[in-house]
Amino acid sequence: MMGTVVDDVQSNENSTNLEFATPEKQETRAFLRERFLRVITGIVGKQAEFHLHENTRVSAEFRGCDVECLEVYVRNLETPLGKIPEAVLRASDIIYLNVNDTNVAQ
C-alpha cells in the first residue's frame, strides 16, 4: 500500500514537471529571456532616470545588473544630496526607470 502512495506522488510530480517543461513553454521562456537580455545590454551606458519610493528621483548612467536583477549598477549617480561616482541601487527600491534614446536590436 505504501508503494502505491509513493508511486502516485511521483507520477503527480512527473506530470507537473512535464506540464512545466512543454516545448512551447520552454521556447516561450527562452524567447522572453533573450528579449530581456537584449534590453539590458541595449541600455548599458545610457543615461537613466530612476523613480524611487518617497517620490525620489535620481539619475545615473546605467551600467548593468546582477544575474537575478536584484541590484542595479550605476555610474555618476545624481541625487538631491550630491553626485556619487559609482553606486548600487536595490531593485526593490526602484519603482520604475526611464531610459531615453534606446536602440535595442530585435
Residue-wise DSSP of 72-99: EEEEEEEETTEEEEEEEEEGGGEEEEEE
Rounded to two decimals, the pTM is 0.72
In a domain, 12, yes or no: no
In a domain, 82, yes or no: yes
24-82: per-residue pLDDT in tens? 999 999 999 999 999 999 999 999 999 999 999 999 999 999 989 999 999 999 999 99
Give the Cα separation of 27 and 57 in Å (integer).
Answer: 37
Does residue 2 register a pLDDT over 70?
no
Q: What residue numbers bound the domain in which 78 lies? A: 44-105
In a domain, 35, yes or no: no
In a domain, 26, yes or no: no
The CATH number covering residue 50 comes to: 2.30.30.100
Q: How many domains does the chain have?
A: 1
Task: Look at residue 33 in the predicted model and tell me its pLDDT.
Answer: 93
